[in-house]
Amino acid sequence: MQGWYSQGRYNLTSNGTYSITRSYLVIIGHRPQMRTADLVWTAMAIPKHRFMVWLAIQGRLLTQERKQKLHIQVDDTDCFLCEEKVMETNVHLFETCKWTEIVWQGITQWT
Ligand SMILES: [Zn+2]
């Protein structure tokens, strides 16, 4: 915690005001930021996968939940990938779906 508070005084900005943002940034220190786009738009993945991951991150995959929000006729909202009777949502597909879990286990074993 150096630079923003020393000898009982706050260091002020060049125009003489106190900056809480500047103090906060000094407290948390330098943290390298990784942009989500850099992870998605990598040459390691084929374009189709890049696009699907990008849609998933943006919450714009056309899941049954999203179809309902867009007022698109949906006959069955249950997930098509697993036997559970839960609505197909972005969170379900990538976090709680049993089928996805099996796929992740396969990928983990493969790598
Ligand atoms: Zn599922």
Q: Does residue 51 sit in the same domain as residue 95?
A: yes
Q: Does residue 41 sit in the same domain as residue 78?
A: yes
Q: How far is the CA of 82 from the centre of ligand 1 (A)?
A: 4
Q: Does residue 47 sit in the same domain as residue 84?
A: yes
Q: How far is the CA of 17 from the centre of ligand 1 (A)?
A: 54
Q: Does residue 43 sit in the same domain as residue 67?
A: yes
DSSP output for 33-99: ---HHHHHS-TTS-HHHHHHHHHHHHT-S--HHHHHHTT---S--B-SSSSS--B--HHIIIII-HH
Q: Does residue 26 sit in the same domain as residue 41?
A: no
What is the count of structural domains for the chain? Answer: 2
Q: How far is the CA of 61 from the centre of ligand 1 (A)?
A: 14
Q: What pLDDT sits at residue 2?
A: 52
Q: Does residue 48 sit in the same domain as residue 19?
A: no
Q: Does residue 15 sit in the same domain as residue 47?
A: no
Q: How far is the CA of 76 from the centre of ligand 1 (A)?
A: 13
For residues 36 and 50, the answer to whether their CB atoms sit within 8 Å is no
Full domain range(s) for residue 86: 36-110
Is 6 strand, coil or helix?
A: strand
Q: Does residue 64 sit in the same domain as residue 19?
A: no
Calculate what percentage of the chain has a pLDDT beyond 90.
51
Maximum alpha-carbon separation in the chain: 69
One-letter amino acid of 39: L
Q: Does residue 41 sit in the same domain as residue 3?
A: no
Q: What pLDDT sits at residue 78?
A: 94
Q: How far is the CA of 92 from the centre of ligand 1 (A)?
A: 6
Question: What is the overall mean pLDDT for the chain?
Answer: 86
Q: What pLDDT sits at residue 4?
A: 64
Long-range contacts made by residues 65-70, C-beta under 8 angstroms, separation at least 24? 65/89, 65/90, 66/90
Match 């899941």 to its residue by tokens.
63
Q: What pLDDT sits at residue 1?
A: 46
Q: How far is the CA of 96 from the centre of ligand 1 (A)?
A: 7
Range ranked top by mean pLDDT from 22-26, 30-34, 55-59: 55-59
